Amino acid sequence: VMPACLLLALMLLVPALSARQERGLIFNLETGELCIQSAQCKSGCCHRVSGLSLARCAPKAAEFQECSPKSIYGVYYKCPCESGLTCDADKTIVGSITNSDFGVCKDPR
C-alpha cells in the first residue's frame, strides 16, 4: 500500500515542482515591490528616491526621461533606459562616486 501512495504523491508533486512561477519572493518582483538589487526586478531596475529610502522595483526610463548609466551597484536613483535607448550622462568616476552621473534617455539613431 505504501509504494502506491508514494508513487501517487510523486506523480502529483513533479508537475507542481516543474511549473515555472510567475512571481517569486526574491526574484521576478513586480513594480513597487521592495528590492535589494536590480536583478531581482522584472523591470531590471531597483530604484530608491534617497539614501535613506527603501528601494523598490521601478520601470526603466523611457525616451527623454532622466536616467543613470548601468552600474555595478544594482540600486539606482534614476533607472537605466529602456532597451534600444542610451543614457547620455556624465560617465566619469567622479560622477558615479558623487551620484551626479544622471542623464537623459535618447534614441541613438
- As separate numbers, helices (DSSP H) first and strands (DSSP E) second, the chain gives 2, 5
Q: What three-state secondary structure class fits 87? A: strand
The CATH number assigned to the domain holding 79 equals: 2.10.80.10
15: pLDDT strictly greater than 90:
no
Checking if the pLDDT of 6 tops 50, the result is no
- Give the total number of structural domains in the chain: 1
Residue 9 lies inside a defined structural domain of this protein: no
State the Rg of the chain over Cα: 20
Q: Is residue 82 part of a domain?
A: yes
d(CA 43, CA 36) in angstroms, rounded, equals: 14
Domain membership flag for residue 11: no
Q: Which domain holds residue 96?
A: 25-106
Q: What pTM was estimated for this model as a whole?
A: 0.71
| Confidence bin at 85 (pLDDT 50/70/90) | very high
Is residue 3 a part of any domain in this protein?
A: no
Residue 59: inside a domain? yes
